[in-house]
Structure 1
Amino acid sequence: MRQDLLWDADAARRYDTPGEGMFAPEVLGPTVDRLAALAGAGAALELAIGTGRVAIPLANAGVPVTGIELSPAMIDQLRTKVGEAEIPVIAGDMATATAPGRFTLAYLVFNTISNLLTQAEQVACFRNAARHLEPGGRFVIELWVPQLRELAPGLGGVATVTEPGYILVDTYDPLRQHVVSHHFRFDERVDGGREAKVYRTPHRYIWPAELDLMAQLAGFELESRHADWSGAEFTAESGSHVSVYRLVGTNV
C-alpha cells in the first residue's frame, strides 16, 4: 500500500496524543535536548516530519526546522498547530524530495526509515540526507532492533504489545526483511462487548550493521550509538537505538 494513502486524514487525526505515549514529556524532552545539541547554531531538517511531534518543540527550543513529508493529511494536521513561516514543509518522499538551504542536522525519528520498503530506497534516503547537510553535518536515526529471537520455530508472528484496549501483532517475512504491524484497537460498545478495529503498517526492518553500511555508501561514518535519547549504553539486549552519523565524504 502507498505510504501517502496509508497515512490518511484518519491516521493523522489519531496520531496526536498530547501528553501521552510518543508525546509524553519524558519521551519528547530527551529527544529535543539531544537534537538541539547536535544542531548547534545551525538548522535542522526532519525527514518525514509528520504532524510536528518533534519539530515543533525543537523549533520552540530555538532551532530553525524545515520538514519533508509525503502525506498531505499529516501536513494538514501540522498546519493546525504551526504555520509555514515557522516550520516550512516540502511535500514529497524523504528519499528524493529536496528542501532549500543547508543544514547542520538531519534526522528521522521513531522507526520512520523502515517505512521505505526496499533497501535501495533506504540507501537513497541516506544519500538525500547527505545532499542537504553541510560538511561535517550529522544524520540521526531512531530505529528499533529486529526482534526475530522472539519468534518461536514455525511461527511467523508475535504479539509485541498487549494493553487494555490495544494489541500489537508483528508478522515477519525474513526473506524480504519485511514486517507488518497489525494494530488492534478495541472500542467499548453499548451492549458491553468490544468491537475491534485493525490498522496495518508495513515496514522493512534494518539490522544496525546494515544501517552502518548504508551510511558509508552515502559518505557518513558512525559517530555514536545509544539505546535511547538519554545516552544509555547500547547492548545486545537493547530493543532500539539512536544512531548518530557524521558526514565525512561526498559519495552521494
Structure 2
Amino acid sequence: MTAYDFSSTRLFVDAPMSEGAQIDFDDGQANYLRNVLRMGEGDGLLLFNGRDGEWSARLVEVAKKRARAELVGLTRPQTPSGRLRWLFAPLKHARLDYMVQKAVEMGVSRISPAITRRTQVSRVNLDRMRANAVEAAEQCGVLAVPEINEPETLEAILARWPEGEPLVFCDEDAAGADPLAPLRALAGKPLALLIGPEGGFDPAERKALSALPQTVRIGLGPRILRADTAAVAALAVLQATVGDWSSGR
C-alpha cells in the first residue's frame, strides 16, 4: 500500500483529474490557501475527487479571490469504495459532527439519517454533514467522500430494505450477548449498521426490526453508551470482525 503523505496540504475538489489538468478552487478553498495557509504560486499540495485517485499538484495562481493548481502526477490510485452503510438517528450539531467525522475515518461509504419515533432532532443539515465528511476525508487520507442520503423515517427504510443485505442492529437489550459470533457469518457481504436514538427504539420499531429477516442483532457490552460512542464502538467491532481491519477482507 502506498504510504500516506500527511505533511502536505490535502483538498477535495469536484473536478476531473488527469496529468496537466488545471483545477480552479472555490472561494472558500482559495481563501483558505491564501489567507490561512499563506501558500503562494509554486507551492505543492495533494488533491482528490473520490473518482480518479489522489494527485500531486502545484499552485499556478493565487490571487485575492481565486486560486488555481496544475496536476503533476498520480500519487495513489483510486481504491474501490467500501460496502459499509451507516444508519443513525440524528443528534444535535456538535455530537452529529463528531459522529460523521468518525464514520468517515472508520471507512463508511454511505451515510443515512434515519428518523425514529424517539429522534430528538427533526431537521438535518446535509450541507454541514457533507462539509464534516469532506474535512475528515481530507485530514485522514481517505480517497472517497461517503454518499450522504436524505433523511427518511426508519419505517420507510425498513419497508424497502434490500433482500440479502444484512442490517446490523445495535440493541441495548442484547448487552450480555457476544457481538462477534453473529457477525462472522457476514464476511464478504455488504454491511449496514443501525444506531438508534438516545432514548432507544420504540417497541413498534423494535418489533419491525426483529421481523426483518436480514436483521442481525448485537450488543455492545454491559455499559450504556451514548449514541455517538455506540456508533464508533460498533463500527470498530464490524471492521475488526468482517470489515477491512480483518485478515479475511
TM-score between the two structures when normalised by the length of structure 2:
0.30
- Rg comparison, structure with higher value: 2
Question: Which structure carries more strand by proportion?
Answer: 1
TM-score between the two structures when normalised by the length of structure 1:
0.30
